[in-house]
Amino acid sequence: MNSSSIKRYREVIGEDVDYLLSTLAGHVDDADLRVRMNQSLKQLADVKFALDESSIVAITDARGTIQYVNDKFCEISKYAREELLGKDHRIINSGYHGKEFFGDLWRTISSGEVWKGEIKNRAKDGSYYWVSTTIVPFIDDDSGKPYQYLAIRNEITQRKAAEQELKEMMVRVMEIQEEERKRFSRELHDGVGQSLFSLLIKLDRLIMERDEIAELRELREDVSGMMEDVRGLAWELRPAVLDDLGVVPAIRTYVDNYSQHFGIGVHLECGLKSRLGVMKETAIYRVIQEALTNVAKYADVMEASVVLKESDEEVEVRVTDRGHGFNPSLIVRSVGLFSMEERANGIGGRLEVHSNPGQGTEIIFYVPKK
């Protein structure tokens, strides 16, 4: 790229401001107009200076060809200005985002709407960096279509690194939590449960020998009740069937127990045919468990539904009720909702909560298969 083309691109923002300021006096006779024009041009120059000092700035034409980059863009991308001008943003594409991501971006800005999001880019030396990005289309008055795009970015690499560290820590915390749940569940079932079962056998022998002692039968009923409580607690902590047979049998058993306990009928539609791994199956089970617990607490309904659908890319889990509902924007996140969101984030999934007062609630959990 020759020097003339570099010069042509370089002054896109506030082009000729300095020249116009210097020549106003010789071309505008009206003193009041001259002062107002001078102020407006000076404000434009000041805004450009502030923008360049605070943000990573680029301007492209309607086709995405880069026409202007400021010093901060060159600094973070590690490309010289002449290497960027005349190119498009594929030069810093990290490969992290898919075609759908950029397709949505281009559909938004080409329709004249402002796009906001976070993008992972790749610098010339191969390093990666994240930017919080706002892209503003400039609209042509005659055609009504964008003729230029202004992209304003701020680096968030450190924040994204901290988020990743927090995510990894939360995943580890949940793994430890599930390991402890599993250990306690086994100890209750195999330890306390077996001890109570042995006591029950001894009581049966005593009852056969001393049938006249009524207190023995009462004691047996108490021990039998304790055994059921221990089994129930062990199941709540960590159902053995989840580890032994997978999430589908675990969900079916949980739904049956849930309906018997709360009197809420649950329509279960399960289209999951493949195993997903311990962490993902645990996340599915816990999200369904938490969502149905919330239905029992707040929805005031007699029925709910749980639907699992599997595609090539992901598993979609929906828990739906037609109860009281709520306004999500007015509700502070509960511990249960926070737990569901963290489980979703921990496996690279996403959680959506849809609800309206009087119209019920739907929890949608998307679980990636890869």
- Per-residue pLDDT at 4 exceeds 50: no
Average pLDDT over residues 50-66: 91
Q: What is the pLDDT of residue 69?
A: 92
Q: Which CATH architecture has domain 3-155?
A: 2-Layer Sandwich (3.30)
**DSSP secondary-structure letter at 334?**
P
Per-residue pLDDT band at 217 (split at 50, 70, 90): confident
What CA–CA distance (Å, rounded) separates 173 from 169?
6
Average pLDDT over residues 22-49: 73
**Interacting residues of 237 by C-beta distance below 8 A, sequence separation 6+:** 181, 182, 184, 185, 188
What CA–CA distance (Å, rounded) separates 23 from 19?
6
Q: What is the pLDDT of residue 302?
A: 95
Tell me how crowded residue 67 is: count the other CB atoms within 10 A of its CB: 19
Beta bridge partners of 238: none
Give me the sign of the Cα torsion angle 291, 293, 241, 345.
positive
- Indicate the Cα dihedral angle 224, 228, 234, 236, nearest 10°: -160
Q: What is the pLDDT of residues 310-342, one digit of tens each?
A: 998 999 999 999 999 988 777 666 667 888 888
**Mean pLDDT in the chain?**
85
Average pLDDT over residues 351-361: 93
| Helices and strands (H, E) in the chain, number of each type | 13, 10
Average pLDDT over residues 252-272: 92
- Per-residue pLDDT at 9 exceeds 60: no
* Higher pLDDT pick, 312 / 31: 312
CATH topology of domain 242-370: Heat Shock Protein 90 (3.30.565)
Average pLDDT over residues 273-284: 88
What CA–CA distance (Å, rounded) separates 254 from 246?
13
Q: What is the pLDDT of residue 123?
A: 97
